[in-house]
Structure 1
Amino acid sequence: MNQNLVNMEYAVRGKVVIEADKLSKEGKPIIYTNIGNPHSVGQSPLTWPRQVMALVDLPSEVGIDNPNCQTLFPQDAIDRARELKAMMGGSGTGAYSHSQGVPGIRSDVATFCEARDGVPCDPDDIFLTNGASAGISHILTTCISGPEDGVMIPIPQYPIYSATLALLGGRQVGYALDEGNRWEANVEELERSLAEAKAKGTTVKAFVLINPGNPTGQVLSRKAVGEIVKFCFKHGLVLLADEVYQENVYCDGKEFTSCKKAAAEEGILGEVEIASFHSTSKGIFGECGRRGGYMELTGFDKEVVGQIYKLASSGLCSGLPGQVMTSLMVKGPPPDGPSYASFKAERDGIFGSLGRRAKMVAKGLNDIEGFECNEAEGAMYVFPKVTMPPNAASAAEKEGVNVDTMYALSLLRETGICVVPAQGFGQEEGRSGFRTTFLPEEETMERAVELFKVHHEGFVKKYS
């Protein structure tokens, strides 16, 4: 077997989740807070996108062209489905598209990016992808050409980066986020990390920024984003801008700034290579199973883009339902249409509830003795630091697991709450904790916070 595959780890669906699934089959109720999978834990899908999706999938004679269609679907859903089907040549979602995605949908994405960033976006720079993950894999595959090649990733990080680098045989070069300063990034740490990697013989090719943060939930300041863009320009690094949570900003006074916009404001747009990613899985849509998303390339040499296009072409194209959902994410119902008010009300309801849960969970965890937790300014997670009792580490060693995993398994078995051990994301030496989402319904999360406290008190008593 490929030993890179054997050595690859992906904590989000690792040992604790396997145990949770086993307990669930045995009849134990499980609260899954291990993964950003909104619909699986009760978030309702938005109505209008699903209506359009249904009409795009249906044969026209029983859908958009059926005389009774207006009795079941609003006119703006019918009109949008007709537009999308025309973009696909009338074939609907059952045929392959262009390898970069349906041209009309790429134009929708380009219009969205222009409105967000205030600078032009060429649809030819857009690749529609099976979620953000496929685009990330394309860029890392393009960058890693040998075992000495490395990529700078934040610590803590989302495990797709460490897992993909392990599979490709590359090196991960961690740069630490400052937990004491709300997980902010700073240039001094970036320079230290890069210099250390070079001293070890690593050829650093790229830099990963996750903003808003996963697992940390921070929203980086405009200053920090600008410094990162300039750092990548200075050192000739490809910037992977993981921006899938850009809609999920809950903290007053915080706002999302894209790397492309920051590059434009710093006067280096087109001079630094930026691959930015967005996804229908996150935001307010939460359509994880659709596997929709896009990648925008700016500042790349045309020959390199051609090689990335070849790689994308080897998979023929991304799934058409995901492409359609991506279009609906970036271009909602018209403001003067019959669906706009209800669509906005559904979105506002989901967003408001997420914001309340973000504050409630962080506060509840901080009220537990031995917990320290930064408030989630964005995304869908908190990443608390947990002070372990003195005998926990030795007990974990006897069990053949790290102390974070032992803690998470104990939490699961005693309360039914499934979290991800912090070690799977990376953290400073001596730190312990876990990542939890706050996606389950508000009442469920309130109960979960109570259970976190009861479990921790019992765990401390057992291992003190």
Structure 2
Amino acid sequence: MRRFISHKVKNLITKTTSYTISSSSSTSISPSSTAALRFLSTLQPDLMATPITIDTINPKVLKCEYAVRGEIVTLAQKLQQDLKDNPGSHPFDEILYCNIGNPQSLAQQPITFFREVLALCDHPSILDKSVTHGLFSADAIERAFQILDQIPGRATGAYSHSQGIKGLRDTIASGIEARDGFPADPNDLFLTDGASPAVHMMMQLLIRSENDGILCPIPQYPLYSASIALHGGTLVPYYLDEQTGWGLEISELENQLKTAKSKGIDVRALVVINPGNPTGQVLGEANQRDIVEFCKREGLVLLADEVYQENVYVPDKKFHSFKKITRSMGYGEKDISLVSFQSVSKGFYGECGKRGGYMEITGFSPEVREQIYKLASVNLCSNISGQVLASLIMSPPKVGDESYESFSAEKEAILSSLARRAKTLEDALNSLEGVTCNRAEGAMYLFPRINLPDKAIKAAEAAKTAPDAFYAKHLLNATGIVVVPGSGFRQVPGTWHFRCTILPQEEKIPAIVTRLTEFHKMFMDEFCG
């Protein structure tokens, strides 16, 4: 925009100057024109200047990092363009993105019922056409009518209430109640553009200065370190125990809380990611009860990231929401402050680009809730399509509905395939020299530990990069496989990992295993000598 304005000003000055020169002998310039020219002449240098530099931007932005879309991904995109421009220019023919939980970018198909309802809501005029009944299921048509009746103006392009459309919040609350067996209040729900804005909203609310801390699991999802940095707080790490399958030990929470307090940090909240990202573990009920007791005892807000609640792959584990756990313990609104996050981006639906999600807040005073509502109001509202999807994932087709069988088949096919992919990759990683990988119980990721040779670590130091990033770059350049270095998620000092998604198409998993196995052997041969 600045460049556009500068160009226009230049042209205007040039034209005005030309006019002045050509007309000076016969026509005088009015005082107002002279003043305008003088103003434009002084304005142009300003427009050409660059007053904002890397040294003058908000230092909190500089402190913020997001490894999932970092340097490795930038390099991968360059290689992808190289392959397009010069086929055969690299020892692989495609880039395999195993770095981010983005299912549909890797050819996962959307759930038919969800997309039918969205299409009908976005183009409601086709509901009145006879051909529609031959193209869409009866329950999708009925659901679209129900949803449109709740949307202002029956239009998905309209603004909604800042917390989200009331009727859709009613539907989500009913879904939460059906899941947990305890009541849910639609007024406790804030519908957001994915779970990430909800996390930012809570960080804005909780963090007053760098003396305020948020307990976060390490390894952690970079959204938390980034949002804490952006809002000026302090991340207080607690380390998950890799030896016990990334277990969350209460003694570790207590030690880190004590250490933070000794440094003058006022810890405000505890973040728990269940199922885990990037670690893939699923918490047991007893452990969750201990976590609730810890938060209640210490007066901490419990921030429960539960966006992978549908992604559980092992028969001996089951997802339980922290809302269910707290209520089953007899704790209500006055006992503990809980914020639960959910998203349409994960699960078996993988609707990342639709940007839908919500947070359920309980245990906050009316005065604080007013401030949360104010924060939501600043953003006006979340997008309506995302709101519709959030209601659909919490109220899918039920037995007897026309879409039930096809919906159930699609869900089962996706989740069972993810489980097979997870097991195949887990076994392959554990077969590699110096690599150990915990069981993938849930979520969409594996987080193997790699014991790198001293020679590789020294080479990484010489290249001024973390050893696991050094490994990841070599992997990408040799195979086209994109993973995220564990250092981007933080880890126990002196250990090295990488995060790998289980999302590439199932038929591509064997090729990934082959490429990874061959590369790892070559890498170890090169740096063990």
Q: In the alignment, is the contact (CA less than 8 A) between 1:76 and 1:334 conserved in 2?
A: no
| Residue 4 (structure 1) aligns with | 60
| Residue 52 (structure 1) aligns with | 117
Distance in 2 between residues matched to 1:258 and 1:247, nearest whole Å: 11
Distance in 2 between residues matched to 1:405 and 1:153, nearest whole Å: 22
Among candidates 191, 213, 219, match of residue 150 of structure 1: 213
Distance in 2 between residues matched to 1:431 and 1:126, nearest whole Å: 40
Among candidates 442, 452, 460, match of residue 524 of structure 2: 460
* 1:163 is the counterpart of 2:219: no
Distance in 1 between residues matched to 2:405 and 2:154, nearest whole Å: 31
Among candidates 68, 71, 83, match of residue 15 of structure 1: 71
| Residue 160 (structure 2) aligns with | 97
- Higher mean Cα deviation, 111-120 or 208-217? 111-120
Q: What is the TM-score of this pair, normalised by structure 1?
A: 0.98
Among candidates 408, 415, 419, match of residue 483 of structure 2: 419
TM-superposition CA deviations, 1:26-73 (whole Å, max 9, x none) = 115100010000000111111111011000000x33x11223211211
Distance in 1 between residues matched to 2:524 and 2:298, nearest whole Å: 47
Deviation at 1:89, TM superposition (A): 3.4
| Residue 357 (structure 1) aligns with | 421
Distance in 1 between residues matched to 2:74 and 2:332, nearest whole Å: 44
Determine which structure has more spread, i.e. the larger CA radius of gyration. Answer: 2
| Residue 139 (structure 2) aligns with | 76
Distance in 2 between residues matched to 1:457 and 1:354, nearest whole Å: 27
- Secondary structure of the residue aligned to 1:294 is strand
Which amino acid in 2 is paired with 1:261?
K
Distance in 2 between residues matched to 1:133 and 1:438, nearest whole Å: 22
Deviation at 1:134, TM superposition (A): 0.8
Among candidates 384, 400, 407, match of residue 336 of structure 1: 400
- Secondary structure of the residue aligned to 1:337 is coil
Distance in 2 between residues matched to 1:223 and 1:113, nearest whole Å: 21
Among candidates 290, 304, 321, match of residue 258 of structure 1: 321
Among candidates 263, 267, 270, match of residue 200 of structure 1: 263
Deviation at 1:21, TM superposition (A): 0.7
TM-superposition CA deviations, 1:157-199 (whole Å, max 9, x none) = 1000001111111100001111111111111111001001111
Among candidates 431, 441, 454, match of residue 367 of structure 1: 431
TM-superposition CA deviations, 1:293-351 (whole Å, max 9, x none) = 11000111111111011001000000111001111111112421221111111111001
Note the residue ranges of structure 1 that are not aligned, 5 or more in a row.
Answer: none
- Secondary structure of the residue aligned to 1:428 is coil
Deviation at 1:90, TM superposition (A): 4.0
Among candidates 296, 309, 327, match of residue 360 of structure 2: 296
Distance in 2 between residues matched to 1:207 and 1:445, nearest whole Å: 36
Distance in 2 between residues matched to 1:91 and 1:119, nearest whole Å: 32
- Secondary structure of the residue aligned to 1:430 is coil
| Residue 274 (structure 1) aligns with | 338
Q: In the alignment, is the contact (CA less than 8 A) between 1:101 and 1:317 conserved in 2?
A: yes
How do 1:101-112 and structure 2 match up within 5 A? 101-112=164-175
Distance in 2 between residues matched to 1:255 and 1:328, nearest whole Å: 22
* 1:41 is the counterpart of 2:106: yes
* Structure with larger RCO (C-alpha < 8 A, sep 6+): 1
* 1:322 is the counterpart of 2:402: no
Which amino acid in 2 is paired with 1:365?
L
Q: In the alignment, is the contact (CA less than 8 A) between 1:361 and 1:445 conserved in 2?
A: yes
How do 1:405-444 and structure 2 match up within 5 A? 405-444=469-508
Distance in 2 between residues matched to 1:449 and 1:300, nearest whole Å: 49
Distance in 2 between residues matched to 1:302 and 1:325, nearest whole Å: 29
Q: In the alignment, is the contact (CA less than 8 A) between 1:97 and 1:317 conserved in 2?
A: yes
Which amino acid in 1 is paired with 2:150?
M
Q: In the alignment, is the contact (CA less than 8 A) between 2:152 and 2:159 conserved in 1?
A: no
Q: What is the TM-score of this pair, normalised by structure 2?
A: 0.86
Aligned-residue identity in percent: 49
- Secondary structure of the residue aligned to 2:412 is helix
TM-superposition CA deviations, 1:329-387 (whole Å, max 9, x none) = 11112421221111111111001101111111111110111110001100000100001
Which amino acid in 2 is paired with 1:291?
R
Distance in 2 between residues matched to 1:334 and 1:372, nearest whole Å: 41
Q: In the alignment, is the contact (CA less than 8 A) between 1:46 and 1:343 conserved in 2?
A: yes
Q: In the alignment, is the contact (CA less than 8 A) between 1:10 and 1:160 conserved in 2?
A: yes
Q: How many residues align?
A: 462
Note the residue ranges of structure 2 that are not aligned, 5 or more in a row.
Answer: 1-56, 84-92
- Secondary structure of the residue aligned to 1:127 is strand
Q: In the alignment, is the contact (CA less than 8 A) between 1:363 and 1:375 conserved in 2?
A: no
